[in-house]
Amino acid sequence: MDSITALLEGFATAAQPEYLLYALLGVTLGTAVGVLPGIGPAMTVALLLPLTYTLDPTAALIIFAGIYYGGMYGGSTTSILLNTPGESASIVTALEGNKMAKAGRGAAALATAAIGSFVAGTIATLLLTLLAPTIADVAVQLGPADYVALMVVAFTTVAALLGSSPLRGFASLGLGLFIGLVGTDTLTGQQRYTLGVPTLADGIDVVVVAVGVFAVGEALYVASRMRHGPIEVVPVGGKWMTGEFWKRSWKPWLRGTFIGFPIGTVPAGGADVSTFLSYAAEKKLSKRPEEFGKGAIEGVAGPEAANNAAAAGVLVPLLTLGLPTTATAAVIVAAFQSYGIQPGPLLFTNNSAMVWALIASLYIGNVMLLVLNLPLVKIWVKVLQIPRPYLYAGILLFAALGTYAVNFVADDLIVLLVIGVVGFFMRRHGYPVAPLVVGLILGPMAEEQLRRTLQISEGDPGALVASPFAAVTYGVLIVVTVAAVVVRVRRKKADALV
């Protein structure tokens, strides 16, 4: 029951007017970047990092968490109302939601997405509250070899499950790990891969990489194949909430929540996978499967709930183990580190007040997001219509500003440009960018744990699998990988037969 007292204290902190304002700022920014194509929460958090050094860590993290949750809400508005959906996590929503909007039922689609996100976000945050302290207690006993095992799992799932090609996922991960190597080795003080350039001696800043690969890479990519002509937004029509609306939505919301949360918690591909699973489940359970593909409300309610529950689930390994499993989570880990705080099992003992204020702000943020996204949806429709030349010019300007503000040296902008160009080619050739960011941030942590393991064992690699936890983890990973390969091969064979 300690955690309930702690949570109440967290609410007392988060409910102070100052922190409420930061939460509001975070969720508003998050919704805006979720609505706008071309920028996502990962990049926004990265951009704000240098600007928030003057704030206290609790305030900054409340803003970042708000952006993280807000991005999930905003994305669904775009996929329902814009004629040209993108962004993997909301593709499924676009499938049914877009059809609903075009059939004049946009209001109901927006409502089920927003309320579903709220229900799922709140239940998932509750589960996070209950689970996180317990997991942290167990995680305290994990040794370096166990962390190596967990990181190998995170690397594998992030690289293999995101994007269409696991091979390119691993290449992207490798590039991120390489960028993470550049700089001064923390254990021996050796310079590595700095080419003797002083700018590189401190390593390449996370902000520069994240902003380069997301903002500059995306802007160049859009410029190369820009969609011209007016931005077509489907007008919001129909009734918002009817009796039938509630009747058809509440079960998919709950099912989505319980599909999404575990998938987010176990590093298994995050939001994308959970939305697909939820969609498949709803289609199977529906009494009206023929409506799917033509605008079935269950196909919006379930995946949207799953999406948000997964987002909250991702916070479990993030807060209790320090393991980021998505690009945004990785940047948030970098944010913790910039304040000298290492997320992980000790967070709940060493920075207890801060963590609980953060968790409390998630509950508050969810309520704010419901208000922002339902009654105020018209504002976001306006934001969605910003002419693209100005939008991308603005993204480039703030990308350059955020990068420059890290150290106030123009040399960082050269690194930004180079990484931006790499990000551009990665997009052209189907290399997912998230593994790069996760590799960059998790890489140095993995190296440290690996070296610590081998130092204790005096170089005996057997130590990596000696602990039961690590052995089981690798075992599960191997089984899952083999199963995934088998499924893939079978599906290919089935496709070949058709």
Cβ(187)–Cβ(448) below 8 Å? yes
* Dist. CA 99–CA 95, nearest whole Å: 7
Check binding of 493 to other proteins (CB under 8 A). no
Q: Which stretch binds other proteins (CB under 8 A): 50-58, 251-259, 296-304, 317-325?
A: 50-58
To 5 degrees, how large is the angle CA 212–CA 327–CA 143?
A: 125
Check binding of 152 to other proteins (CB under 8 A). no
Cβ(438)–Cβ(330) below 8 Å? yes
Residues between 263 and 322 with contacts to other proteins, criterion CB under 8 A? none
Check binding of 134 to other proteins (CB under 8 A). no
Rank residues 20 and 181 by Cβ distance to other proteins and give the closer one. Answer: 181
Angle between helices 298-321 and 327-338 (to 10 degrees): 30
* Least distance CB 167 / other proteins (angstroms): 5
To 5 degrees, how large is the angle CA 152–CA 156–CA 161?
A: 155
> Could you count the other beta carbons within 10 Å of the beta carbon of residue 114?
22
Check binding of 246 to other proteins (CB under 8 A). no
* Dist. CA 360–CA 10, nearest whole Å: 6
Check binding of 143 to other proteins (CB under 8 A). no
Among 47, 80, 145, 173, contact with other proteins (rule: CB under 8 A): 173
Check binding of 81 to other proteins (CB under 8 A). no
* Least distance CB 251 / other proteins (angstroms): 30
Check binding of 462 to other proteins (CB under 8 A). no
The tally of CA atoms less than 13 A away on the side-chain side of residue 439 is 26
Among 187, 201, 476, 483, contact with other proteins (rule: CB under 8 A): 187
Check binding of 102 to other proteins (CB under 8 A). no
Rank residues 140 and 397 by Cβ distance to other proteins and give the closer one. Answer: 397
Rank residues 195 and 497 by Cβ distance to other proteins and give the closer one. Answer: 195
Among 21, 397, 483, 486, contact with other proteins (rule: CB under 8 A): 397
- Mind giving me the DSSP string for 152-194? HHHHHHHHHHSSS-HHHHHHHHHHHHHHHHSEE-TTT--EES-
> Could you count the other beta carbons within 10 Å of the beta carbon of residue 367?
14
* Least distance CB 102 / other proteins (angstroms): 16
Check binding of 161 to other proteins (CB under 8 A). no
Check binding of 414 to other proteins (CB under 8 A). yes
Q: Which stretch binds other proteins (CB under 8 A): 19-27, 240-248, 285-293, 451-459?
A: 451-459
* Least distance CB 275 / other proteins (angstroms): 15
* Dist. CA 267–CA 275, nearest whole Å: 15
Q: Which is nearest to 79 in space by CA: 89, 65, 68, 64?
A: 89
Straight-line distance from the first to the last Cα atom of the chain, in angstroms, rounded to the nearest whole number = 57
Rank residues 128 and 436 by Cβ distance to other proteins and give the closer one. Answer: 436
Among 62, 436, 450, 470, contact with other proteins (rule: CB under 8 A): 450
